Amino acid sequence: MASKTHIILVTLLSILSLLAYNSVYAQLSPNFYATTCPNLRTLVQNAMRQAVTREARMGASILRLFFHDCFVNGCDASILLDDTATFTGEKNAGPNLNSARGFEVIDNIKTRVEASCNATVSCADILALAAREGVVLLGGPSWIVPLGRRDARTASQSAANSNLPSPLSDLATLISMFSAKGLNAREMTALSGGHTIGQARCSLFRTRIYNETNIDSNFATTRKANCPASGGDSNLAPLDSLTSTRFDNNYYKDLVARRGLLHSDQQLFNSGSQDAVVRTYSNNNAAFASDFAAAMVKMGNLSPLTGTNGEIRRNCRVVN
């Protein structure tokens, strides 16, 4: 009897979770600005094309901004708020300090959008659209972005410090942290594939290349050339050793070859539960692209502010 009751409770919780997710999704719509700002996508595309042409890494930087925004109290553009004498934002939280970048690109897009559709489009939606365009410009998949998010008037440095996975995280921690956001282990592994573009600082992978054993020795030697045992903390290395400015499945090929740059990367392929998924993605770019796109939509639906909650910021860096 107790077992049956447990099953019923689990089933009810699953149904409630699904209803909650669908309710959030229903509040957002790809056509939200169809009449109020019909040229929105073109404005974002053009600005992102210019930004990525100037620096291909910017596609990865904007994608990371979106991830770091959504994992801290939802996709509400709180990460874009500057610190002031009376306001503490998230930019100086450990995971963002001296690493979160691309804010000026979002500012540029916002300026263009405001000139065309004044006080209409949220910074949260601009960031969501810019993340997609950055991926597409680097050869990755596209996806439909539901819109209608509003901007937070608050931020949480403490939540940014606690909710964002560390490059030193083990597999169990990664699975747990993504699960807390309603994302399963396969979705976590797919989203981690965002590391097919972008770079990381020496300070974040020094321990891996000097101390860990589940690493290709030639790869470690190559990385040590630009990441000494001491000093050079800000020196950069590509997260994908093969095509770091091309959004593809080579990140997973690196993992299979024990060439994951970060400890948390290699944890996805280290005789654990995600080995089979990593191997599938390493052999099938289409499967990775499809799963990544679906997971991005799901992540983009994390706790958005809608209706009359929040605001439409005039300047993404400050509340109105």
- The residue from 64, 68, 149, 253 that is catalytic is 68
Looking at this protein, which amino acid is placed at residue 312? I
Is 90 annotated as a binding-site member? yes
Instruction: Please give the helix or strand (H or E) that residue 176 lies within, else none.
Output: helix 171-179
Looking at this protein, which amino acid is placed at residue 201? R
Q: How far apart are CA 295 and CA 215, in angstroms?
A: 28
Angle at 111 between CA 107 and CA 112, to 5 degrees: 120
Instruction: Please give the helix or strand (H or E) that residue 236 lies within, else none.
Output: strand 236-238
68 is catalytic: yes
Looking at this protein, which amino acid is placed at residue 118? N
Is 195 annotated as a binding-site member? yes
Is 78 annotated as a binding-site member? yes
Is 76 annotated as a binding-site member? yes
Evaluate whether 232 touches 203 at the Cβ level (below 8 Å): no
Residue with tokens 């970060």: 262
Is 6 annotated as a binding-site member? no
Is 243 annotated as a binding-site member? yes
Is 240 annotated as a binding-site member? yes
Is 69 annotated as a binding-site member? yes
Token pair listed for 150: 């509003």
Angle formed by the axes of helices 57-70 and 285-300, nearest 10°: 50
Is 248 annotated as a binding-site member? yes
| CA-based nearest residue to 107, from 67, 65, 144 | 65
User: How far, rounded to the nearest angstrom, does the alpha carbon of residue 1 sit from its chain's CA centroid?
Assistant: 44
What is the DSSP code (8-state) at residue 166?
P
Is 230 annotated as a binding-site member? no
Instruction: Please give the helix or strand (H or E) that residue 178 lies within, else none.
Output: helix 171-179
| CA-based nearest residue to 163, from 303, 22, 12 | 303
Instruction: Give Cα separations from 58 to 32, 300, 307 (angstroms).
Output: 27, 19, 31
Token pair listed for 298: 């799901």
Dihedral pair phi/psi, residue 93, rounded to 5°: -65, 155
What is the DSSP code (8-state) at residue 158?
H
Q: Which residues are annotated as a binding site for Ca(2+)?
A: 69, 72, 74, 76, 78, 90, 196, 240, 243, 248
Q: Which residues are annotated as a binding site for heme b?
A: 195
Q: Which residues are annotated as a binding site?
A: 69, 72, 74, 76, 78, 90, 165, 195-196, 240, 243, 248
Active site residues: 68
Q: Which residues are annotated as a binding site for substrate?
A: 165
